[in-house]
Structure 1
Amino acid sequence: MRYLRIILLALLSLTGANAVAQYTPPPVTVSTEVIRNEKGEFFVHKVEMRQTLFSIAKAYNADVNQITADNPLLRGGLKAGDIVLIRKAGAPAQEENRPSESEQKKEIKYTQHVVRWYETIESIALKYKITAEELVALNKLTDSELRPREILLIPDGKGDNSVPSDNNPAGNERGLFSKSVANNHVVSLILPFNARNYEANPGTNNYLDFYQGFLIAANDAKEKGMNLRLKVIDNKEYQNSSLIASSGRIDGSGLVIGPVFADEISGLLDYTREKAIPLISPMDPSSDKFVEGNPQFLQVSVPVEIQQEALISSILPDSHVALFCEEGTQNSEQVNITRSILNSKGIQYTFYSYALLKGRSVHSQLVSKLNRSKENSVIILSNSEAFVSDILRNLNLINTRDGYKITLFGTPRWRNFDNVDIDYYHSMNLHLALQYNVDYSGEDVSRFLSRYRAMFGSEPSPYAFQAYDLGNFFLSSMMKYGEDFIDYIDEEPKTGMLQSSYRFERSKRGSGFINKGVRLIIYRPDYSIETRSFGR
């Protein structure tokens, strides 16, 4: 048996040696394609099947460590189809792989283009004044869909030069922008300072509060080293917002915030789309209609559908769901949206509506829609303080006297009710899905309050908190990623937000971003208020 093992090992050794002897690495042909950037000139080599980093380095007479340093993504492995940049320093070691003299004379120069979210093969070809077919052939593209941050080669001298300003030839490392690019930014802030509510009562101008909150965020950015030029524009000085674009006031901007209202934003869309300038709608939820077809557009206000979806996602599993509203509102937008979400999630529910004048007679009807043996998740869709007060009084009796377990789900406006017994909120664990909520116990909030009071001698309104969050988030993104910050906006950490939650998503390629960040607050029986974030 021992001799048999020895014989088998010997055969395996001979077979392995023979296999190695028969394997011949595929030849590496030196590329004639060359690009230039701030690091120098590089051969552009497209990796073929079974080629290794060592065989490529040998063919180009290059150092393996230098190739790896110039191509950081190679640390994740080498695969066929990868583009490798090789410094044009020494001549290739293998004479047979040298390009002929005629090929050397015809050596082509290239620049790089980093694909952005909204770009297509056709739009890039148009930008550089080449045909789509030339772009596809040159880059050996096999798919009509481009990947964000994908590197394309462009013949030198075509169109404008889109080589990234960072020190990474591959253009895929983030946060490495040179100081001259990362720290010099122009931001235009467009607000209606002369709006009618301000003319009637200068002491309650919400847009002035917004501006002051943004100023604190701008000061924070400057303290971190950002060279920021802030253009503040009163759009009440113009008959329409398209005149702002034609006036030249926002030329050179890397970011435009505002105007406030949807009908005013529409006048800037063509300009910002043509110039590829990110445009933020800071307040008006109805501006979400501009997301389609405007890849640089960002909608900050959270649509009602997203808020309701977050609220329904917090419903207790295996609970009985009941939906109540005031008679006459059964077909309102809010009710229809909620019923649609429940149906799409396959959640069974009972439904009942009644007129406020029915008063105490509705008690038995409400009980008939609940389940005594289960937890009842009761969704009340009403912004009427009188109706909410009445139905909560009835539900509290059903909860305390009849022994039904009830968890409430309401609308954001309930926070502002003055005449509803707050004890009902806590005793029945009220859940609210909000786009804005400030936790005044937080250290960041306390610090902001102190600074705002010191600078402006007044208390900040929700508009000031909102502007600080917006400014802090977007200015930090601009500092970190440079002028292409919008390509990374869906990956930016959402920390340090005072009253908002941000989670920007595109619905599809070629469209803008919608914020889907929601804060869920829960009133607890011990009179505490728990805060959760959807979208972190």
Structure 2
Amino acid sequence: MVLKRTFIRLLFLFCFISGLSAQETGVRRSQVVETYRGKQYYIHFVEQGQTLHAISQAYQITVDDIRKANPDLTEVLRDDQMLMIPVKELQAAPEPVSKTETPADLPVRDIVDGQRSHIVAPKETWYALARQYNLAVKDVIAANPGIDTLRIGMKVIIPEPAQPEARPGLKLYTVSAQETLYGISRAFGITVDELVGLNPVLSNGLQTGQVIYVPDRQPVVQRPAEQSRSRKDGYLEHRVERKETLYSISRRYGVEMSAIINANPGLGGSLKKNEVLLIPLPGSAPAGNVKVKQDSVVLGRAVHAEALPELPAMNCTPSHPVKRTFNLALMVPFALEHADSVYTGDPMSLKLPSEYRSLDFIQFYEGALIAVDDLAAHGMDVRLHVYDADAGEGIIKTRRILSNPEMENMDLIIGPLFARSFELVASFAAKHEIPVINPLSQRSEIIAGNSYVVKSQPSGWSRYNGTAQVLAGRFGDANFVVMRLNDTENASMAGVFTGTLRKLIDDPAGVKEVIYSKGHDAGLIQSMVPGKTNVVLMLTADKALIPALLRRLNDLRDKYQIVVVGLPEWEEMEMDINYLHQLNAHFFTPWFVDYSDPDVIRFISSFRERYIGEPELFRYAYLGYDLTAYFLDALYSFGPGFLKCIPDFTKKGLSSNFRFQQQDGGGYENTSITVYRLTDFRKETVK
């Protein structure tokens, strides 16, 4: 009897182990391989029930290897989550492209059996294709069975975007031009994070015409029946809500701000909640005889004298309270938990410095230290508090930092650098009236409703608008051609450029829009004018189209005077640099370093001496210095209430000359932009 029970237990144990083995070996190894930073990775999509251990067994690597390749990985895997799995044995090198058929000569788009196709350009990946066409990586791969590694010149199928299926409690919403994540989330009473959770594809950005899920209820900001009523004399009455502006109201009703101002004589710039405005209906005559003078354009919007807010008098005279000790909190994700051991193995197998998470933002910290020393040398007494903040989605470290009583006594906080932890710190800063600086986010939502938050990265809208202002000032009588690849690519960007240019140049008809996919080269050439400067804004990052189009425009220089304006991403592409110089190429960027500047030379020398390394723009060395130097100087000059003074506080930085503007009822955004051109094979800034 005992022997029988023992046999049954052994049989059960064997079946249990066999079941586990069957589960783990059931993970199929992906055939899709991508190259990232010189290393090859399988692109694996997690299926229901799969675990990290099972996946590691299938690929014959350790769980730690998977975690190192996916630093933001959490304990719980999600269905369809994408993992990068290191390839132990390198795949065969890509086949070379025939000299008679280079990517520049191949068609960019084509139709194969009723499906879209794309010609792979150098350095393009599955991920890049998915981003370009606003698709999921998994869908693009599934449309190309049998293709594991992309090769230059290869033709791949681009599937049509799948229409979302109906889901309980949700409805489909089509994104309109110039809508934002914040605006849509607010309209439906949810947070931006909740909206992205319903639509993971939104992490790649919002696209005009995109169909997304929203809660199945009426948007709270689109109920004109509750907020306005019709009148017999051709007007609506609108009752102003909290945080509404003249600009937002004009956009809502589709009328010009000047028409609203004409209909409301004596209207001030600061609207008050529950104030009633007359909104003229289309075709109605203006009320009164108020003549509105369009004084200028700020941020691409027409500004009228009657609409300018009356700001209270501010005392922003530098006082330099040198006897005061100022407390600065610097919150940087050092990931110290990954740097708590010493490697004693073969030195030849050491990882590159770029592969250590603890070094991701080390140059930001190093640049900030130099700035602190510079201010101290000018007499400022700074007590620097440095904290290891969370990276990715974590908030545990940040909560621990904020629980420290000394945080309530800070005069300035710089960081954290990641969204979830910064949200916590921003709330803390508002409660304790401490200015907090966000170094990396472009999202305008972070300064909404919080006057203590400063966003150092210009939003996309500010970048395009600022660039348009520079171009209009430099080429006021030119023929402007705003070109993009198709109806959806960079539609919002094109809208800002065309809108601002038409407001600023003498003849708005001198701004034309071209969709390349509809007319190709002929459509672009027809939009140019002989005898005038043709400023061609090529708002596309298509790696196959750009080299061919630059070559075509270069061939037309005898007939047309052409100035090309390109995207910052072009600098990472392979193209003939001579075309860019011959076409007087202009580029725009929020961060530009002039390496001939004496202050930059001094900083580089100091950085080399301290850290035995080179400061790099894209590793945030200059950003760390500029932010710390600017805001410490403002704090030193004006005292703890310095934020009200920064719109008029100018200080030359190494990579940015900050220009801050306050959002209505919210924080401050940097709107500074640098436009530069290529001349004599060097970069020259355009004033």
Q: TM-score range by the shorter chain?
A: 0.5 to 0.7
| Equivalent runs, 1:96-245 vs 2, <5 Å | 147-149=312-314, 172=315, 174-181=317-324, 184-194=325-335, 201-202=355-356, 205-236=359-390, 238-239=395-396, 241-245=398-402
Q: Distance in 1 between matches of 2:593 and 2:316?
A: 35
CA shift for structure 1 position 145: 7.7
Q: Give the alignment partner of residue 319 of structure 1, picking from 461, 478, 496.
A: 478
Deviation at 1:256, TM superposition (A): 0.5
Return the offset for 1:241: 3.5
1:351 counterpart residue number: 513
Query: Residues 347 and 187 (structure 1 numbering): CA distance in 2 closer, same or farther, change over 3 Å?
Result: farther
In 1: Cα distance, 2:459 partner to 2:396 partner: 29
2:490 & 2:571 partners in 1: Cα distance? 24
Taking the TM superposition and a 5 Å limit, the aligned residue runs for 1:381-420 are 381-400=539-558, 403-417=559-573, 419-420=574-575
For 1:499 and 1:318, the matched residues in 2 are separated by 31
1:329 deviation in Å? 3.6
Q: How does 1:428-467 map to 2 (within 5 A)?
A: 428-462=583-617, 463-467=620-624
Within 2, Cα distance between the matches of 1:243 and 1:501?
Answer: 35
Which has the larger share of helix? Answer: 1
| Number of residue pairs matched by the alignment | 357
When residues 348 and 465 of structure 1 are mapped into structure 2, their CA distance, relative to the original with a 3 A threshold, is same
Paired residue secondary structure (2:326) = strand
Work out whether 1:269 is the aligned partner of 2:426: yes
Q: Deviations over 1:155-204 (max 9, x none)?
A: xxxxxxxxxxxxxxxxx4722354323xx111011111119999981288
CA distance in 2, matches of 1:330, 1:405: 26
Distance 1:310 1:173 in 2: 26
Partner of 2:671: 516
What is the RMSD computed on CA atoms of the aligned residues?
3.0
Q: Deviations over 1:453-476 (max 9, x none)?
A: 110111111100111111111111
TM-score between the two structures when normalised by the length of structure 1: 0.61
Q: Which residue of 2 aligns with 1:301?
A: 457
Taking structure 1 as reference, are residues 399 and 177 closer, same or farther at Cα in structure 2, changes over 3 Å only? closer
Aligned equivalents of 2:579, 2:358: Cα separation in 1? 33
- TM-score, with length taken from structure 2: 0.48
Q: Which residue of 2 aligns with 1:278?
A: 435
How far apart in 2 are the matches of 1:353 and 1:443?
44
Which residues in structure 2 correspond to 1:16-95 (within 5 Å)?
none
Aligned CA distance change for structure 1 residues 176 and 311 (closer, same or farther; 3 Å): closer
Partner amino acid, structure 2, of 1:322:
V
Per the alignment, do residues 263 and 399 of structure 1 end up closer, same or farther by CA in structure 2, a change over 3 Å counting?
Answer: farther
Specify the alignment match of 1:471 in structure 2.
628
How many angstroms does 1:486 deviate by?
1.6
Deviation at 1:300, TM superposition (A): 0.3
Partners of 1:311 and 1:431 within 8 A in 2: no
% identical equivalent positions? 26
| Conserved? CA contact 1:238–1:244, under 8 Å | no
1:380 maps to 538
In structure 2, the residue corresponding to 1:250 is in which secondary structure? Answer: helix
1:506 is aligned to 662
Residue 384 of structure 1 and its aligned partner are, at CA, apart by 2.9
Q: Which shows bigger deviation, 229-238 or 303-312?
A: 229-238
> Aligned residue for 2:643?
486
Distance 1:201 1:248, change over 3 A: farther
Matches of 2:567 and 2:490, distance apart in 1: 17
For the residue of structure 2 that corresponds to 1:384, the secondary structure is coil
- Return the letter of the residue paired with 1:397: D
Structure-2 change in CA distance of 1:435 and 1:309 (3 Å): same
Q: Is the 8 A contact 1:321 1:349 kept in 2?
A: yes
Give, in whole Å, the separation in 1 of the partners of 2:312 and 2:625.
Answer: 33
Judging changes above 3 Å, is the alpha-carbon distance between structure 1 residues 454 and 290 closer, same or farther for their aligned structure 2 residues?
A: same
Deviations 1:239-263 (A, max 9, x none): 2634432343522110001111233
Larger Rg: 1
Structure 2 residue runs without a partner (length 5+): 1-271, 273-308, 340-352
Take 1:188 and 1:250, find their aligned partners in 2: how far apart are those partners? Answer: 8
Partner of 1:94: none
Q: What amino acid is aligned across from residue 555 of structure 2 in structure 1?
A: L
Instruction: Assess if the C-alpha contact under 8 Å between 1:294 and 1:512 holds in 2.
Output: yes
Helix, strand or coil: the match of 1:520? Answer: strand
Tell me the alpha carbon deviations over residues 335-391 of structure 1, each in whole angstroms, 9 at most, x when there is no partner: 343344345554543333335xx9xx9443332121123211101101233322222
Give unmatched runs, 5+ long, in structure 1: 1-119, 121-143, 150-171
- The 2-side partners of 1:421 and 1:270 are apart by 49
Letter of the 1:147 partner, please give it. P
1:305 Cα offset (Å): 1.2
Equivalent of 1:527 in 655, 671, 681: 681
